[in-house]
Amino acid sequence: MVSASFFPHVPRVWACALSAAILGGCAGFGQVPPTSAVKPVETYDVGDRIRDVQGGPDLAPQWWRDFHDAALDRLVDDARASAPTLTVVRERVNEALARTDVERAAGRPQIDGSLSVTPTRFPGSYKIPPPAAGHWQTDTQVLAGLSFDLDLAGRIDATVRAASRRADEQAALERGASLALETALVATYLELARDWQLRQIAEDTLAQHRALLRLTDQRVAAGLDMRMASLRAAEPIPLAESELAGYDADIAVLRDRLAVLAGRGPGYTATLVPAPAVLDVQAQLPRALPADLIARRPDVAAAKADVEAKTAQIDVARAAFYPDIDLLAFAGWQSLGLRALLSGNSASLGVGPALTLPIFEGGRLRANLRAQVAVYNEAVAQYDDTVVRALAQISDTLATIATQRKQRDFTHEALTRAQSSYDLETRRYEHGVSGYLDVLLAQNRLHEDRAAYAQAQSALLISHVQLIGALGGAVTQNDKDVQ
């Protein structure tokens, strides 16, 4: 520490020596491995399956409202507001933002104050002269100190950039968690709607089996059939009752799963019943997007922010090779004895630079730089892998949707024919052309095709929900500005 009055008398030779020390204090980087380059997303060959998609309008931010189910809307809204999983990631974002502010504060002037009153007996044979020597005196100090890191090497700036990119990464992960929660809720709700519809079909099937048994018993009683016919007619009933009980169990599990996703107890969804028409929604593919907008996916954006944070950490490692210069100053009062504290001679003032030089560190700085470069290269590889997997997920989901759409259409055609056959058999029975047994058999085929269509339609809708997640959710105004 050098007092302010010292600076006018600093010899020029000391200034030259200080400059030489600063230049000489810059340690060499040594042999540094090369850094990998980030491959732009738009340079990937996305394939014809993604490139040729012709979809509908842009996805709405609250895309689940397109199912027109008030219970689903309430479920998603409640989950977004209070689900513990989202609270966790939101607090991680807040923590990352706070840490960024902590790092940023290191580059600003720091002022602190101190007060000490220390009774001290000074020895008689020490550097303290009389009259204090050999007596008790009160060592009193009231000081204010200021320090400011000039950050000539950019260490603080790089640390702030790294912390800021970490906050961006956490924000992207929060978006990803929110999207994952939304898609999981909607997909599970569609599963519940499917099982509820299958349960209704199972009830109809059970009723049909019982009606067939009553008809058969009547024929046996009239001597038109043998007892074996009644036994055969009764055989499917226990299996149908077991199937119905299985659907009840599946529905209970799905309701509990929805409650967990929403961050609520099981009672929250204990009586939840999806709207009957929720499976009748004809979902459209989202509008085809430029390949570079794959970068808006939360996991891709988080991986990109991680790469940028690692880039800043390399700059931090490089800055450690250079001198660190702080400006230090203090002002206040210092005295031996409380009565002398406020006298004119007790005033104290000092100002000057503090210089830290890396002279010999045993290769620590070079090893740290190599480590940071390796960490950066790893982050680049993980980013590239995330992009590749994202494109593959989108392509796979599109292929699944194309197949499931055909299967849905085939089952719908079968259902239409089964409905026509049932209607025809019903009219024949009403006109006495055929027996009721033919009507029940046609009804049984109709129930089977109803179940197959419900499963095919729900699978297609769930795949559409998965595609929404694979594409990163709705396109925001920021995404459009990126284009």
pLDDT digits (tens, 9 = 90+) for 294-305: 878 899 999 999
Predicted local distance difference test score (pLDDT) of residue 420: 93
Average pLDDT, rounded, for the chain: 85
Q: At residue 209, does pLDDT exceed 90?
A: no
Q: At residue 365, does pLDDT exceed 60?
A: yes
Q: Which two tokens stand for residue 427?
A: 């009219």
Predicted local distance difference test score (pLDDT) of residue 287: 62
Contact 142, 115 (CB under 8 A): yes
Q: Which two tokens stand for residue 76?
A: 């998603």
Q: Where does the pLDDT of residue 3 fall: very low under 50, low under 70, confident under 90, or very high at 90 and above?
A: very low
Q: At residue 479, does pLDDT exceed 90?
A: no
Predicted local distance difference test score (pLDDT) of residue 481: 47
- What backbone torsions phi and psi does residue 183 show, to the nearest 5 degrees? -65, -40
Q: At residue 193, does pLDDT exceed 50?
A: yes
Contact 322, 152 (CB under 8 A): yes
Predicted local distance difference test score (pLDDT) of residue 218: 85
Q: How far is CA 241 from the centre of its chain?
A: 43
SS (H, E, C) the chain: CCCHHHHHHCCHHHHHHHHHHHHHCCCCCCCCCCCCCCCCHHHCCCCHHHHCCCCCCCCCCCHHHHHCCHHHHHHHHHHHHHCHHHHHHHHHHHHHHHHHHHHHHCCCCEEEEEEEEEEEECCCCCCCCCCCCCCEEEEEEEEEEEEEECCCCCHHHHHHHHHHHHHHHHHHHHHHHHHHHHHHHHHHHHHHHHHHHHHHHHHHHHHHHHHHHHHHHHHHHCCCCCHHHHHHHHCHHHHHHHHHHHHHHHHHHHHHHHHHHCCCCHHHHCCCCCCHHHHHCCCCCCCCCCHHHHHHCHHHHHHHHHHHHHHHHHHHHHHCCCCEEEEEEEEEEEEECCCCCCCHHHEEEEEEEEEECCCCCCCHHHHHHHHHHHHHHHHHHHHHHHHHHHHHHHHHHHHHHHHHHHHHHHHHHHHHHHHHHHHHHHHHHHCCCCCHHHHHHHHHHHHHHHHHHHHHHHHHHHHHHHHHHHCCCCCCHHHHHHC
Give the pLDDT mean for 339-357.
82
Q: Where does the pLDDT of residue 200 fall: very low under 50, low under 70, confident under 90, or very high at 90 and above?
A: very high
| Residue 444, CA distances (Å) to 78, 165, 236, 239, 383 in order | 41, 61, 12, 14, 53
Rg of the chain on CA atoms, in Å: 38
Please state, in angstroms and rounded to a whole number, the distance separating the CA atoms of residues 23 and 325.
13
Q: At residue 67, does pLDDT exceed 60?
A: yes
Predicted local distance difference test score (pLDDT) of residue 483: 43
Q: What is the pTM of this model?
A: 0.82
Contact 211, 242 (CB under 8 A): no
pLDDT digits (tens, 9 = 90+) for 20-61: 555 555 556 556 667 788 888 888 888 888 777 766 667 788
Q: At residue 247, does pLDDT exceed 60?
A: yes
Q: At residue 8, does pLDDT exceed 50?
A: no
Contact 255, 193 (CB under 8 A): no
Q: At residue 482, does pLDDT exceed 70?
A: no
Please report, rounded to a whole number, the percentage of residues in the chain having pLDDT higher than 90.
48
Would you mind telling me the total number of residues written for the chain in this entry? 483
Nearest CA-CA partner of 164 in 109, 101, 107: 101
pLDDT digits (tens, 9 = 90+) for 250-275: 999 999 999 999 999 999 999 999 98
Q: Where does the pLDDT of residue 229 fall: very low under 50, low under 70, confident under 90, or very high at 90 and above?
A: confident
Beta bridge partners of 356: 324
Predicted local distance difference test score (pLDDT) of residue 139: 83
| Spatial strand order in the sheet of 347-356 | 110-121, 136-149, 324-336, 347-356
Predicted local distance difference test score (pLDDT) of residue 276: 83
Q: At residue 7, does pLDDT exceed 50?
A: no
- What backbone torsions phi and psi does residue 102 show, to the nearest 5 degrees? -60, -45
Give the pLDDT mean for 218-236.
80
CB-side neighbour CA atoms (13 Å) of 149: 15
Q: At residue 205, does pLDDT exceed 90?
A: no
Predicted local distance difference test score (pLDDT) of residue 219: 78
Buried b (16+ CB within 10 A) or exposed e, 204-224: bbbebbbebbebbbebbeeee
Choosing among 1.20.1600.10, 2.40.50.100, 3.40.50.1000, 3.40.190.10, the CATH entry for 31-107+163-321+371-482 is 1.20.1600.10
Q: At residue 191, does pLDDT exceed 70?
A: yes
Please state, in angstroms and rounded to a whole number, the distance separating the CA atoms of residues 222 and 300.
74
For residue 182, count other CB atoms closer than 10 A to its CB.
21
Second-level CATH architecture of 1-28+108-150+323-357: Single Sheet (2.20)
Give the pLDDT mean for 137-157.
89
Instruction: Report strand pairing: 136-149 vs 110-121.
Output: antiparallel
Please state, in angstroms and rounded to a whole number, the distance separating the CA atoms of residues 470 and 221.
62
* CATH 2.20.200.10 boundaries in the chain: 1-28+108-150+323-357
